[in-house]
Amino acid sequence: MRLLIMGPQGVGKGTQAALLAEHYQIPAISTGDIFRYNLKNQTDLGKKVQAFIDKGELVPDQLTNSIIKDRLAMEDAQQGWILDGYPRNAAQVEALDQMLAELETPLDKVLALQADRQVLMDRMTKRAEIEGRSDDTPDVIARRLDVYAKETKPLLDIYKDRGLLLEINGVGQIDQISKTVISQLDHLDHTV
Ligand code: ADP
């Protein structure tokens, strides 16, 4: 199973990615988590990406693409994966297309989780209190949502045109949402 999980900040991508990873026994790969790990450990990569993340801007494509390329080559990614937070702009879609063509492993589905802006803002405000992420300040949250609307949301149409998009309501019980996703993906398995 090779999946993308897309949707705005606060919609629950990370939570659903973890549940799907468990169900399908594949890794959930989050570019945001990889960057945060490197920030925390002050690695060379961490130092390079800090300023972008603190401002809510996208990290340069070259860096992000090469991280994904390396990660997809790892042993535990050979049976499938879920990408959370990548691709995030048109250039990254192109880079991913090229990587997957070289690996001869096409995408199975793109999940798009949806929720109203007010729900997203409420969830992120709550998360900011709990997790204390440095990019969860009101200004940076607003910037991240703007970047999402401008750069990332239009990508959904690309995947829709390819017949890969599965749109799911991100509001409701966490395990109910996950059940809905899995039943739709299993249905897909039986029909192809
Ligand atoms: P969120 O979706 O809540 O903004 P993420 O953990 O997905 O959180 O990403 C945090 C930050 O990491 C982003 O604001 C951006 O700076 C950087 N980042 C994550 N994924 C990408 C990506 N695919 N391309 C560029 N930058 C990224």
Q: Is the CB of 53 under 6 A from ligand 1?
A: yes
Q: Is the CB of 7 under 6 A from ligand 1?
A: no
Ligand 1 mutation pick, 88, 140, 155, max ligand atoms within 8 A of CB:
88
Active site residues: 13, 88, 127, 133, 144
pLDDT value at residue 188? 72
pLDDT value at residue 190? 56
- Residue segments in the chain with a per-residue pLDDT below the cut of 70: 189-192
Give the Å distance between the CA of 85 and the centre of ligand 1: 6
- Residue 89 backbone zone (phi > 0: left; psi -120 to 50: alpha; other: beta): beta
Q: Is the CB of 128 under 6 A from ligand 1?
A: no
pLDDT value at residue 187? 83
pLDDT value at residue 87? 98
pLDDT value at residue 191? 52
Q: Is the CB of 85 under 6 A from ligand 1?
A: yes
pLDDT value at residue 132? 87
Q: For 2-182, which CATH class?
A: alpha beta
Q: Is the CB of 52 under 6 A from ligand 1?
A: yes
Give the Å distance between the CA of 31 and the centre of ligand 1: 6
Per the annotation, binding residues for ATP are 10-15, 127, 172
